[in-house]
Amino acid sequence: MSLQDPKLFGKVAVLFGGSSAEREISIMSGTGVLEALRSRGVDAHAFDPSERDLVELRREGFARCFIALHGRHGEDGTVQGALELLGIPYTGSGVMASSVAMDKVMTKRIWQADGLPTPKYVRLAFDQQSREQVRAVPDVLGLPLIVKPPREGSSIGVTKVEGYSQMQDAVTLSAKYDADVLCEEFIEGEEVTCAVLGQGLDARALPVVRIAAPQGAYDYQNKYFTDDVKYQCPSGLPEAEEHEIQRITLAAYHTLGCRGWGRADVMIRASDRKPFLLEMNTSPGMTGHSLVPMSARAAGIAYEDLCLRVLASASLDATGGAQ
C-alpha cells in the first residue's frame, strides 16, 4: 500500500490503554501514534479495549487497527485473536507469535532449540517456589542473577539478586505479577536493543541502540520517567558487533514467526563481547522515550512515517500479507 494516500487506510482504530500493568505506558504510546497518524491525514480514532467492547470496532466500521497496547490482553495474542474473528487487519505479529513472545520462558526454549544465544535460566512454576527450591537457584545460575515475571514487560516486577538472602523477596515480588517466576543468569556487560520492520524476506533490522542507565538501573522509572538514561544511536559499536546483533535479532524474529515490527533486547557480555537475546517485544513502545522511534530516526525514518509504515503492514493471520 502506498504511504502517500492515507485515505486508503480507511477508518483506523488506535488501540491503547487496556488492563495490563503497562496501561500507563500504553496510553503514552497510543497518544503519540494517534497524533502522528492524524497529522498525516489518516482517519484515526482512539479506542481503549478496557472501556469498550471490541465488537464495536466492526459495528463502527473500522477498517484496521494499530495496536499500541502493551502487556497482557494486548501483546499476548488475545486481542489479536479477537481481531482475527472480527476480520479486522491489525498491526504487529499474529496470534501465535504474539502469544509465544509474551512468554519469556517459551521464547527462550524456541531460541535455544534453534541455537540462538540466550542466558541460562530456571523456571519456578507456582508449585516449585518452596524456600528450599528458591534458595537452590543461585547454585545453578550463579550470582548475581535476575528474577522476573515471564509474562510482563517494561521491567515490572524485576529484581537483580546479589545474594542468597534476597532470593525469597525477589520471587515474592515477581509472583505478584505472574504465577510462574523466571530466574535468569545475569550477563555482565552492555545492554542494547535492535528493532525490526517488515515481514518475511522483506524484514530489516534497524540501527542498534546502546543503553547506558545510571548504575545499570534500566528499570521502569528510568525507562519512562527520567532523562537519566543515555541512549546512543548510532550505537558506536564496532561494525562487526552491530551486524552480529542485527543478524541474531532478525533470526530471533523469524524463528518466533513475528511480522510487521518488533524489538529485541540484547546483552553484550563484557568478557568476550558475545551477544545474548533477552526477549522480543511484538508491540514496542512508541513514547517519547521509546527505542524503536529512535532507531528509525537514525535510519532516516521520521516518527510519523514509522507509524504509517507499521499501519500499512496491518494484516490477518489468514492472509499473511498487508491488506
pLDDT digits (tens, 9 = 90+) for 266-281: 999 999 999 999 999 9
Q: Residue 1 falls within a domain, yes or no?
A: no
Shared domain check, 170 and 127: yes
- Quote the pLDDT of residue 224: 46
C-alpha cell at 96: 501465535
- Quote the pLDDT of residue 152: 78
Catalytic residues: 22, 154, 224, 263, 265, 279, 281, 285
> Can you give 95-158 as a three-state secondary structure string?
HHHHHHHHCHHHHHHHHHHCCCCCCCEEEECCCCCCHHHHHHHHHHHCCCEEEECCCCCCCCCC
Whether pLDDT at 323 is above 50: no
Shared domain check, 62 and 28: yes
Shared domain check, 290 and 267: yes
Whether pLDDT at 249 is above 60: yes
Q: Return d(Cα 260, Cα 196) in angstroms, integer.
A: 8
Shared domain check, 165 and 77: no
CA distances from 79 to 73, 83, 91, 171 (A): 6, 6, 11, 29
Quote the pTM value.
0.91
Residue with the three cell numbers 547454585:
139
Shared domain check, 132 and 219: no
Report percent pLDDT > 70 for the chain.
92
Shared domain check, 199 and 67: no
Q: What is the mean pLDDT of residues 68-83?
A: 93
Q: Return d(Cα 196, Cα 209) in angstroms, integer.
A: 12
- Quote the pLDDT of residue 294: 97
Q: Look over the chain and give the mean of its residue pLDDT values, rounded to a whole number.
A: 92
List phi, psi (to 5°) of 13.
Answer: -100, 130
Single residue among 129, 158, 185 that ends a domain in this structure? 185
Shared domain check, 213 and 162: no
Contact status, residue 167 vs residue 135, Cβ threshold 8 Å: yes
C-alpha cell at 37: 497518524
- Quote the pLDDT of residue 215: 62
Query: Is the peptide bond prior to 89 cis by the omega test (within 30 degrees of 0)?
Result: no
pLDDT digits (tens, 9 = 90+) for 152-167: 765 789 999 999 999 9
Q: Residue 317 falls within a domain, yes or no?
A: no
Contact status, residue 193 vs residue 209, Cβ threshold 8 Å: yes
Shared domain check, 136 and 217: no
Q: Return d(Cα 80, Cα 15) in angstroms, integer.
A: 11
The CATH number assigned to the domain holding 207 equals 3.30.470.20
- Quote the pLDDT of residue 190: 93
pLDDT digits (tens, 9 = 90+) for 106-134: 999 999 999 999 999 999 999 999 999 99
Q: Residue 51 falls within a domain, yes or no?
A: yes
- Quote the pLDDT of residue 71: 84
Q: Which structural domain range is residue 299 located in?
A: 100-117+188-312
Q: Residue 319 falls within a domain, yes or no?
A: no
